[in-house]
Amino acid sequence: MKSLSLSAALRIRSYAKVAPGTDIVSAAPNVSLQKARTWDEGISSKFSTTPLQHIFKDKKVVIFGLPGAYTGVCSNKHVPAYKDNVDKFKAKGVDSVICVAINDPYTLNAWAEKLQAKDAIEFYGDFDGSFHKSLELVTDLSGALLGTRSERWSAYVVDGNIKALNVEEAPSDVKVSGAETILGQI
């Protein structure tokens, strides 16, 4: 059996195609996300997706990406901090706090319910990774048996324009992408 160190398994990369000043919708043209939902809700909606312009147009949005549902740091540190600070975001005029991951919307729905965060945070799936790939916010976590995943990142977006962007050096870190950091950037 082959064994890798955590640092080797979780390759480090700290750049992205997007930066403050970038229009996130233009950077990911023709991309839609899938709102977290049950399988039955997926069927009844005919597996609808949400175009990025509907998420960002005329809104102030805090969005954070993470490697995946049910993973340790995501479940124990990243999402809870955003959930615990939703009222502070709303007080600063933020319309929505969004969590996005390269997962299907059904897994994200079950995970959001388990974390009791669905009422505070909007969860969206990027089932094929097209959103994250367009923004160059993907990382290969095959060493941890996860495959292609989202970088751990956060952004403050106003009417589609990225005002602040934070990308972690390693997917196991929550040093710059956490709720407190982005709160200070609004």
d(C-alpha 182, C-alpha 13), whole Å: 20
Out of 10, 16, 36, 74, which one is annotated catalytic?
74
pLDDT at 107: 92
More confident residue, 27 or 82: 82
End-to-end CA distance of the chain: 47
- Give the pLDDT confidence of 121-140 residue by residue, as tens digits: 999 999 898 898 888 887 76
The predicted structure's pLDDT at residue 148: 65
Task: For the chain, give the mean pLDDT.
Answer: 83
More confident call, 46 vs 85:
85
Assess whether 74 carries a catalytic annotation: yes
d(CA 97, CA 122): 6
Longest dimension (CA), the chain: 52
Is the pLDDT at 27 greater than 90, yes or no? Answer: no
Model pLDDT, residue 175: 82
pTM for the complete prediction? Answer: 0.83
User: What is the band of 9 on the pLDDT scale with cuts at 50, 70, 90?
Assistant: very low
Domain segments of the chain as ranges? 22-184
pLDDT digits (tens, 9 = 90+) for 32-42: 999 999 999 98
List strand residue ranges (DSSP E) for 53-108, in order: 60-66, 96-101
Q: What is the pLDDT of residue 10?
A: 42
| % the chain with pLDDT above 70 | 83
CA–CA distance from 32 to each of 18, 25, 41, 172 (Å)? 17, 10, 17, 27
More confident call, 13 vs 147: 147
Q: Are 149 and 102 in contact (CB under 8 A)?
A: yes
pLDDT, tens only, 72-101? 666 777 799 999 999 999 999 999 999 999
Helix (H) or strand (E) holding 34: strand 32-35
At the top level of CATH, the class of 22-184 is alpha beta
- The C-alpha torsion from 69 through 72 and 78 to 79, rounded to 10°, is 50
